[in-house]
């Protein structure tokens, strides 16, 4: 077994562990931190079902972003939707047999790689060209874009220019899932692609990528607007019993 294979096997075990534990920990914190007051941004749905619908609109069509800025929406939405399609498409490296819906994506994936990179470059252009966005961008924001563009570009290279042995790649990842290490082809594009993906998984729990779980926990979006109908108390606001006060007077 080659050194490269061993290094990548270890890298992916470590990255997966950091990703799962780190994001899991953050989700736990989000979920267990109380929200003492009702603060939905109104007009807000008055029922749970309405909140689900609002949340779906936020994560599927980026409703608030659409209201806000059509360019950011266009690039951001294009990037994310292509990313989701690509993530689903990559499931075929982890499943045997590959689920049917993944194979349906075949036609789309001729374009999704380009869509991802185009969306990212659009967002990056705004970061460089629009003075307001340039002002708020830090080094980590540029590095994150570079990393994602790198992942997309190296994927495109493998798909259209320097094909890699995807059967071997699949065997490698299926092997990892079964704790049996299989040889990984040592193509440069594949090496780069996988290294960057592992890096992304590692930085995920300590970076702004936390917006992915964060959006579901945002009280301004996920709270039901019914404070008069149903008394809301959580955390510090649940610590008092006002009826006791009345009799003490």
Question: Minimal CA–CA distance to 72: which of 81, 62, 82?
Answer: 62
Q: Minimum distance between the CB of residue 122 and another protein, rounded to whole angstroms?
A: 12
Residue numbers 88-117 binding another protein by CB under 8 A: none
Residue numbers 33-62 binding another protein by CB under 8 A: 33-39, 41-46, 50, 58, 62
Does the N-terminal peptide bond of residue 14 adopt cis geometry, omega within 30 degrees of 0? no
Window contacting another protein (CB under 8 A); options: 93-101, 152-160, 186-194, 208-216: 208-216
Rama region for 62: left / alpha / beta (φ>0; ψ in -120 to 50; rest): left
Window contacting another protein (CB under 8 A); options: 32-40, 97-105, 160-168, 190-198: 32-40
Evaluate whether 80 touches 59 at the Cβ level (below 8 Å): no
Residue numbers 131-190 binding another protein by CB under 8 A: 131-133, 135-141, 143
In the complex with another protein, the residue whose CB is nearer, 99 or 219, is 219
DSSP 115-165: HHHHHHHHHHHHHHHSHHHHHH--HHHHHHHHHHHHHHHHHHHHHHTS---
Strands (E), the chain: none
DSSP 142-153: HHHHHHHHHHHH
With CB under 8 A as the contact rule, the residue among 30, 93, 108, 114 that binds another protein is 30
Q: Minimum distance between the CB of residue 54 and another protein, rounded to whole angstroms?
A: 10
Kindly report each contact of residues 9-13 with a partner whose C-beta sits within 8 Å and lies 24 or more positions away, as own/partner: 9/172, 9/176, 9/181, 9/184, 11/194, 11/195, 11/198, 12/176, 12/194, 12/198, 13/176
Q: Does 65 bind another protein (CB under 8 A)?
A: yes
Q: Does 207 bind another protein (CB under 8 A)?
A: yes
Q: Does 211 bind another protein (CB under 8 A)?
A: yes
Q: Does 19 bind another protein (CB under 8 A)?
A: no
Residues in contact with another protein by CB under 8 A are 26, 29-30, 33-39, 41-46, 50, 58, 62, 64-65, 67-69, 72, 76, 123, 126-127, 130-133, 135-141, 143, 206-208, 210-211, 214-215, 217-221, 225, 227-229, 231-233, 235-237, 240, 242-243, 245-246, 249
């Amino acid at each position: 077994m080659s050194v490269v294979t061993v290094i990548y096997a270890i890298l992916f075990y470590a990255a997966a562990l950091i990703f799962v534990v780190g994001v899991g920990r953050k989700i736990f914190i989000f979920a267990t931190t109380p929200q003492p007051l009702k603060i939905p941004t109104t007009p807000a749905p008055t029922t749970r079902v309405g909140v689900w619908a609002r949340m779906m609109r936020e994560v599927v069509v980026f409703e608030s972003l659409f209201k806000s800025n059509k360019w950011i929406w266009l690039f951001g939405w294009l990037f994310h939707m292509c990313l989701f399609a690509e993530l689903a498409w990559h499931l075929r490296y982890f499943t045997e047999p590959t689920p049917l819906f993944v194979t349906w994506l075949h036609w789309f994936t001729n374009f999704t790689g380009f869509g991802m990179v185009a969306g990212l470059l659009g967002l990056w252009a705004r970061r460089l060209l629009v003075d307001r966005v340039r002002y708020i961008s830090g080094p980590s924001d540029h590095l994150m874009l570079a990393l994602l563009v790198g992942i997309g570009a190296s994927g495109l290279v493998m798909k259209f220019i320097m094909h890699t042995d995807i059967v071997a790649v699949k065997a490698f990842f299926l092997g990892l899932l079964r704790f049996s290490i299989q040889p990984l082809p040592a193509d440069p594009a594949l090496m780069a692609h996988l290294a960057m993906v592992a890096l992304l998984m590692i930085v995920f729990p300590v970076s702004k990528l936390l917006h992915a779980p964060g959006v579901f926990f945002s009280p301004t979006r996920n709270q039901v607007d019914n404070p008069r109908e149903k008394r809301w108390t959580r955390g510090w606001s649940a610590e008092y019993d006002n009826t006791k006060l009345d009799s003490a007077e």
